[in-house]
Amino acid sequence: MEFLNTREFAQQLDAKDKLAKYRDEFLFPHVNGKQVIYFTGNSLGLQPKRTKAYVDEVMDDWAKLAVEGHFYANKPWWDYQERFAAPLSKIVGALPTEVTVMNTLTVNLHLLMVSFYQPTEKRFKIICEEKAFPSDQYMIKSQVKFHGYNPDEAIVEIKRRPGEHNIRLEDILATINEVGDGLALLLIGGVNYYTGQIFDMKTITKAAQDKGAYVGWDLAHAAGNINLELHEWNVDFAAWCSYKYMNSGPGNASGVFVHEMHHNDPDLPRFAGWWGHNKERRFLMEPNFDPVRGAEGWQISNLPVLSLAPYLASVEMFDEVGMPALIQKRDSITSYLEFILHEIDREVNGHFEIITPAEPSERACQLSVFLHGEGRSLFDYLMKNGVIVDWREPNVIRLAPVPLYCSYEDMYEFGQILKTGILSHKK
């Protein structure tokens, strides 16, 4: 499609958008009395209006039933997490038994590494990407130290080539081959948080497993954002947060995937807890742990139902929309934003560059813009003028045009505000 940088053209795209009605399902902050243009769904998604009813339902059941809510609430609390299995499995490409919700993201990655990082004298190395999200870096280093290894020797970072912003697939595969039989685990973010680059998870997973390693993915920026086929790709494990593209609320519950090939492995270590015990025998209070056959067997504690309620509201919305429709609009609106950025850059004589891959298949719902010159002051200008964006050092603004609640007219309006901001800073 040939785009135009006009309000009328953007409005025409909105009129044809089958997902446009979902914009009214969300609550937007206001700046200077005007609804914001919200580009930070890759950090914290907006609140769906339906969320309050889900939370109120739990609160009402607690008030009326107290402890009996575990069994007699409209959605009984003791199996509340089971409602996520079917819709989440569609979002991440899994069998319903391969997914569950529990804890938070980094906690879950630590727990999964108990099972899937089993270093030996020969096989103890972990491959991750350069400039992974800091929490992953801290987690991996602490796990390596816990097992008595030196992070400088055990952790292998796949680096960008000099002068390049993104990591090449061939360099990932070359690193896997180089580490070879010393590789115990590959653990990478499915979408790089800084650049928005999507990694070829299918190819990378197979390459690492061919060397005898386990493969896990941090899907914080991928779940609810890109096409995932975790079961078909034979991924060993994955985890994701729910508060970015899935709009469940700040710091909320995490999703977990464990491939079915591991469900009945009695030799696979794990940290056990009551909620992972055989559901039919859980209340017999038996002394020996008998895990649920499935991802739920990795659960430990009674689940925080008040936290799960907002997540369930969002997951059910995703089930209504379907990932194919979301991805179709994601690609279209991200391309339109890219066009707007190039138009504005041309008009202001080269003030910034997009460091996210230009190929749509290699990016998701994010464009990272590297600003030349007074980047931080331009960020401040955007924020004060009702454009909520995300700043990352040294000089990058991340823009996430989330398809559920961003409009094409938002993209046009942002371009006009950005242009005014750049020109005002040049004076």
**Do 305 and 331 fall into the same domain?**
no
43 inside domain? no
**Do 295 and 333 fall into the same domain?**
no
Tokens of 139: 């987690």
Q: Tell me the average pLDDT of the chain.
A: 95
Q: Say how far apart CA 383 and CA 398 lie, in whole Å.
A: 13
DSSP notation for 362-414: GB-S-EEEEEPSSHHHHHHHHHHTTEE-EEETTTEEEEB--TTT--HHHHHHH
**Do 340 and 306 fall into the same domain?**
no
**Do 386 and 417 fall into the same domain?**
yes
Looking at residue 296, its amino acid is E
Per residue of the chain (427 residues), give pLDDT as tens: 799 999 999 999 999 999 999 999 999 999 999 999 999 999 999 999 999 999 999 999 999 999 999 999 999 999 999 999 999 999 999 999 999 999 999 999 999 999 999 999 999 999 999 888 889 999 999 999 999 999 999 999 999 999 999 999 999 999 999 999 999 999 999 999 999 999 999 999 999 999 999 999 999 999 999 999 999 999 999 999 999 999 999 999 999 999 999 999 978 999 999 899 988 888 888 999 999 999 999 999 999 999 999 999 999 999 999 999 999 999 999 999 999 999 999 998 877 899 999 999 999 999 999 987 767 889 999 999 999 999 988 889 999 999 999 999 999 999 999 999 988 876 5
> CB neighbours (10 Å) of residue 271?
11
155 inside domain? yes
48 inside domain? no
Q: At what angle do helices 305-321 and 85-92 cross, to 10 degrees?
A: 60
DSSP notation for 44-86: SPPEETTHHHHHHHHHHHHHHHGGGHHHHSSS-GGGGGGGGHH
SS3 197: strand
pTM of the model: 0.95
Listed in sequence order, the residues at least 6 apart from 190 whose beta carbon sits closer than 8 Å to its beta carbon are 198, 199, 201, 217, 218, 219, 221, 222, 226, 228, 238
pLDDT reported for residue 312? 97
- Of 332, 318, 328, the residue nearest 91 (C-alpha): 318
**361 CB-side CA count, 13 A:** 2
**Do 380 and 240 fall into the same domain?**
no
Number of domains in the chain: 2
Tokens 């039933």 belong to 65
CATH of the domain at 129: 3.40.640.10
**Do 264 and 358 fall into the same domain?**
no
Of 277, 305, 321, the residue at which a domain comes to its end is: 321
**Do 222 and 307 fall into the same domain?**
yes
Q: Domain range spanning residue 245?
A: 53-321
Q: Say how far apart CA 166 and CA 181 lie, in whole Å.
A: 27
46 inside domain? no
**Do 317 and 345 fall into the same domain?**
no
Tokens of 159: 């680096």
**Do 334 and 311 fall into the same domain?**
no
45 inside domain? no
Q: Say how far apart CA 108 and CA 51 lie, in whole Å.
A: 24
306 inside domain? yes
Of 321, 337, 364, the residue at which a domain comes to its end is: 321
180 inside domain? yes
CATH of the domain at 330: 3.90.1150.10
pLDDT reported for residue 133? 86
**Do 249 and 295 fall into the same domain?**
yes
**Do 217 and 292 fall into the same domain?**
yes
**Do 249 and 331 fall into the same domain?**
no
172 inside domain? yes
75-109: pLDDT as tens digits: 999 999 999 999 999 999 999 999 999 999 999 99
Q: Say how far apart CA 412 and CA 340 lie, in whole Å.
A: 7
Of 296, 321, 346, the residue at which a domain comes to its end is: 321
